[in-house]
Chains A and B, each alone.
Chain A
Amino acid sequence: DGGITQSPKYLFRKEGQNVTLSCEQNLNHDAMYWYRQDPGQGLRLIYYSQIVNDFQKGDIAEGYSVSREKKESFPLTVTSAQKNPTAFYLCASSPDPGLAGISNTQYFGPGTRLTVL
């Protein structure tokens, strides 16, 4: 059963703590992405990776870090430097970001809701 999984579904963090959100895909996609969704603001890109061992900052990378050691995995760490981390986090993947068209379609995981206590 192919797809993208994210864990946990709900995550609570205390002030000053780092937390890591998991994202795994078995679609054999090259590219993976992390988005943050806030009410009324749509999705904003945090980081993206087009290939293993390489990643680029998105529009709101401050306070976040990522790694891409395996093609299947793209974990996101929310650090204590992120001042307002409470949000819904979505991971996505696409077959080949270098080609326009259908092969660039991004497929999303179910999301992780992070709440800072």
Chain B
Amino acid sequence: SQELEQSPQSLIVQEGKNLTINCTSSKTLYGLYWYKQKYGEGLIFLMMLQKGGEEKSHEKITAKLDEKKQQSSLHITASQPSHAGIYLCGADGADSWGKFQFGAGTQVVVTP
């Protein structure tokens, strides 16, 4: 099965600073999905990447998929308290469409 490694496990960032979360796969990614979760709540879909070199942005969040399609990054510019939460990457491989594997998540804390 596909393994997804997320780093860092957690991070604390001062409001207004940038942050980056990485998601690395042991296999080629055919679809990479980023989600955000508040503690005790469901996952909110952020973005989906599929093509090598693809980059998508929504408000202050940018996600990229590398050319080899084995690593993705999520970058938040000028973080705000609303960016606090757990960010998870999920992926489906060529032989398991519909069956996602998820990373363990990155907990983001934004301090004043």
Contact = CB atoms under 8 A, between A and B. Distances in A.
A114 to B, nearest CB: 13
Contacts of A40: 104
Contacts, number: 68
Interface residues of B, number: 24
A102 B40 CA distance: 26
Nearest to A58: B99
A104 interface: yes
Interface stretch (B14-22, B43-51, B70-78): B43-51
Interface residues on A, range: 20 to 34
Contacts of A76: none
B100 A106 contact: yes
A68 B89 CA distance: 27
Contacts of A33: 100
Interface in B8-32: 30-31
B40 A48 contact: no
21 contacts: A6-B42, A33-B100, A41-B104, A42-B105, A43-B88, A43-B90, A43-B100, A48-B98, A88-B40, A94-B98, A97-B97, A97-B98, A98-B98, A99-B97, A100-B97, A101-B50, A102-B48, A104-B92, A106-B45, A110-B41, A111-B40
